[in-house]
Amino acid sequence: MPELRKQTTEAPKTALITGGAHRIGAAIIKALHQQGFDIFLHFSNSHAAAQALQKSLNGQRSNSCFIFSCDLSENEAPQKISQWLLQHINSLDLLINNASVFYDTPWQTATYDDWQKMMSINSQSPFFLTQALLPLLSKTSGQVINLIDIHVERGLAKHPIYCASKAALKSLTLSLAKDLKGKVRCNGISPGAILWPEQENNLEAQQEIINKIPLGHLGDVQDISDTVLFLMNNSYINGQIINIDGGRTLHS
């Protein structure tokens, strides 16, 4: 087992991000790494993307990015991730529960398997991973940031299970912020239209969404990563859910 890195005031801050190989997760990782964080990147199946990102970051700063593959739908996943993390560090500054599964589950055809998969990855896994890492986060008065979704407020057609799973994550965010009484802060970020879902090419549907955004355009992954940095740099924000949506939630 590798030696634990000695934690000193000069040591880099540390961040664990789930689902960090692509899209928003990868943008957050790059932003944190630029700020001097050592990165612990969890991924599920995106081996090539995770390895490429690790190689890039370690090329910029040696031994600053570590990767680990694990299926978050497994009950043992939080323990596996925490055990891997403890091979490298004995404290943690930031946990970002970013990993998520998203697909249609219409009321008429949704299955028990759909329910179990979405709930386990989108809300159950963040709960138990946070629970497992509280001792490491408490050592630094660290922070948990959960990636939620603006659709927990008004729902999204054909996605009742997804919305329910993210609503659960929002509730857990508020509960942790209250229950830990400052030992660990917890906040949430709710993205609006930042990236189109993979393989989404319905231009008419895309334009309909953009028409409901007062700013009139999609956001950018940097809008999310900038908000992560803002939350890390402001130690008096706790129990807040920040919508990054160009005003989309104003549309009724």
On whether the CB atoms of residues 89 and 5 are closer than 8 A, the answer is: yes
Contacts (Cβ under 8 Å, ≥6 apart) of 98 = 17, 18, 19, 20, 24, 25, 28, 147
Q: Would you say the C-alpha torsion 65, 68, 69, 75 has a positive or negative sign?
A: negative
Q: Where are the strands (E) in 1-56, listed by range?
A: 14-17, 38-43
Say whether 112 is catalytic: no
Select from 35, 30, 69 the least CA-distant residue to 53: 30
Among the listed residues 103, 112, 162, 236, the single catalytic one is 162
Looking at the annotation, which residues are catalytic? Answer: 162
